[in-house]
């Protein structure tokens, strides 16, 4: 992986045109020049030339980045601030260590044992009804109630696993990477992917022992942890597959970065797996997708583009196509659908005020569509969407296109 100084030329390429100001969600929220790419490059130029000390205060400005890549689309010099900021954060961590809150979050998700404990705790919270009690007690308590409601929304399972009758048999041999949220926090999306693949005859195995994808450790500049997780995940995926399926946008994009941090045979394997990695929405558009006849869902739905899916993996039309194929779905495009939801991994915890402002903007665009449901393909985005809606005193079903499709299949199966 490249170091900060390896990006010197890219940083010097910034022409200071300011086009990035028009799209950077943080700049639009705060109006601060230091947070937009141009401002960050000015700071980094100072650091690289030794004129500015790389202090924790400077690092706080560098933390003001969602890694959404919106500025890259508009940058005439084609500079990827996301990569440069990751390298800068890694450099800062070498000098001053990693922020304690980030360190704690990464520590929780790094170990499967801790994730299993988290899963057991959440199961108790849900099964004993504590989740509903917390909802009721804190409902009118202002900000704490809002945070609990956002947290509880992440635990709502849209889809419970049910064995469906396969409609066909496909020769596709795949592995499925469900990610840590899908495996330990909310299995709804994982259930839906498994059911939709089974219904369409696609054999997809989930290898045992997979870890968190590590994308939050990478964006925090904790490259050592990202490397450990990459090593574990790459070694567990079999070679003899046609596809490596992901559904969470963040997990999908991690596979692009694994080759950068690995060496030797594992690096080669990671490069091959990256070529086989495919988002579930893309795969569903590639196969002859089964759509039952005579059954409808009657839902109005809008779609939010996760940055890690639209800008990192260029999957934009496919989730919309899946939604539009579902009979009875009234699809409504929202304004600025590809603008970041404001969650961005640890950003919503570290910069709650700015994060809330960005999420509220997104929520208003959702409300303007008057859609009943909001679809997205990223577990992290569901936090940003719930946060934005809660801030405006609203609540909506958050669902992924594949969960909605699984709902249709379940309705058909239960009708027979």
Closest C-alpha among 243, 377, 245 to residue 308: 377
Instruction: For ligand SF4, give the closer residue by CB, 81 or 150.
Output: 81
Contact between 17 and ligand SF4 by CB under 6 A: the answer reads yes
Of these, 44, 47, 63, 67, which contacts ligand SF4 (CB under 6 A)? Answer: 67
In angstroms, the CA 127 to CA 119 distance is 12
Compute CA distances 40 → 79, 307, 367, 416, whole Å.
12, 20, 33, 59
DSSP, collapsed to helix, strand or coil, labels residue 78 as coil
Size, binding site for ligand SF4 by CB under 6 A: 29
In angstroms, the CA 5 to CA 53 distance is 15
Smallest separation (angstroms) from ligand SF4 to the CB of 60: 14
Q: Which of residues 113-142 bind ligand SF4 (CB under 6 A)?
A: none
- Yes or no: say if 304 and 381 are a contact pair by the CB < 8 Å rule: yes
Instruction: For ligand SF4, give the closer residue by CB, 62 or 241.
Output: 62
Q: Which residue has the tokens 């709502």?
A: 156
Smallest separation (angstroms) from ligand SF4 to the CB of 95: 22
Smallest separation (angstroms) from ligand SF4 to the CB of 35: 7
Contact between 75 and ligand SF4 by CB under 6 A: the answer reads yes
- Yes or no: say if 167 and 200 are a contact pair by the CB < 8 Å rule: yes
In angstroms, the CA 15 to CA 17 distance is 5
Q: Which residue has the tokens 């590590």?
A: 214
Contact between 20 and ligand SF4 by CB under 6 A: the answer reads yes
Instruction: For ligand SF4, give the closer residue by CB, 4 or 284.
Output: 4
Instruction: For ligand SF4, give the closer residue by CB, 23 or 223.
Output: 23
Of these, 11, 26, 48, 381, which contacts ligand SF4 (CB under 6 A)? Answer: 26
Contact between 380 and ligand SF4 by CB under 6 A: the answer reads no
In the structure encoding, which two tokens stand for residue 64, read together? 């003001």
In angstroms, the CA 332 to CA 171 distance is 35
What single string gives the DSSP state of each residue in 343-354?
A: -TTTHHHHSHHH
Part of the chain binding ligand SF4 (CB under 6 A), chosen from 61-69, 171-179, 263-271, 278-286: 61-69
In the structure encoding, which two tokens stand for residue 116, read together? 């299993």
Of these, 4, 7, 69, 355, which contacts ligand SF4 (CB under 6 A)? Answer: 69
Q: Give me the torsion for CA of 184, 185, 187, 190, rounded to 10°.
A: -70
Instruction: For ligand SF4, give the closer residue by CB, 81 or 181.
Output: 81
Instruction: For ligand SF4, give the closer residue by CB, 23 or 237.
Output: 23
Contact between 310 and ligand SF4 by CB under 6 A: the answer reads no
Interface positions with ligand SF4 (CB under 6 A): 14-20, 23-26, 36-38, 41, 65-71, 74-77, 79, 81-82
């Amino acid at each position: 992986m490249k170091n900060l100084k390896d990006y010197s030329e890219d940083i010097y390429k910034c022409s200071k045109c300011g086009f990035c100001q028009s799209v950077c969600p943080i700049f639009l929220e705060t109006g601060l020049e230091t947070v937009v790419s141009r401002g960050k490059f000015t700071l980094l130029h100072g650091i690289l030339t030794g004129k500015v000390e790389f202090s924790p205060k400077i690092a706080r400005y560098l933390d003001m980045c969602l890694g959404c890549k919106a500025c890259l689309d508009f940058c005439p010099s084609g500079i990827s601030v996301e990569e440069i900021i990751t390298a800068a954060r890694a450099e800062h961590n070498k000098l001053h260590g990693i922020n304690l809150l980030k360190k704690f979050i990464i520590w929780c998700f790094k170990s499967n044992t801790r994730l299993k404990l988290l899963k057991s705790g959440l199961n108790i919270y849900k099964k004993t009804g504590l989740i509903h009690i917390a909802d009721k007690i804190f409902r009118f308590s202002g900000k704490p109630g809002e945070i609990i409601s956002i947290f509880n929304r992440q635990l709502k399972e849209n889809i419970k696993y049910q064995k469906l009758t396969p409609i066909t048999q496909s020769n596709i041999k795949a592995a499925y990477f469900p990610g840590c949220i899908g495996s330990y926090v909310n299995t709804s999306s994982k259930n839906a992917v498994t059911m939709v693949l089974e219904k369409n005859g696609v054999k997809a195995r989930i290898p045992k022992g997979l870890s968190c994808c590590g994308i939050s450790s990478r964006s925090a500049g904790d490259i050592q942890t990202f490397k450990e997780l990459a090593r574990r995940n790459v070694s567990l995926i079999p070679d003899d597959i046609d596809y490596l399926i992901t559904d969470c946008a963040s997990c999908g994009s991690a596979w692009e970065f694994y080759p950068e941090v690995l060496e030797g045979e594992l690096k080669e394997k990671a490069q091959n797996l990256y070529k086989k990695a495919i988002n579930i929405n893309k795969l569903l558009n590639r196969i002859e997708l089964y759509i039952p006849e005579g059954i409808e869902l009657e839902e109005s739905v809008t779609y939010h583009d996760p940055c890690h899916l639209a800008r990192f993996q260029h999957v934009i039309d496919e989730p919309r196509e899946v939604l539009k194929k579902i009979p009875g779905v009234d699809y409504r495009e929202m304004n600025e659908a590809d603008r970041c939801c404001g969650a961005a991994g640890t950003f919503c915890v570290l910069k709650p005020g700015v994060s809330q402002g960005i999420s509220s903007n997104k929520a208003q665009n959702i409300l303007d569509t008057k859609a009943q449901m909001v679809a997205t393909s990223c577990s992290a985005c569901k936090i940003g969407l719930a946060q934005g809606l809660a801030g405006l005193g609203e609540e909506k079903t958050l669902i992924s296109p594949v969960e909605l499709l699984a709902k249709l299949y379940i309705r058909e199966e239960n009708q027979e």
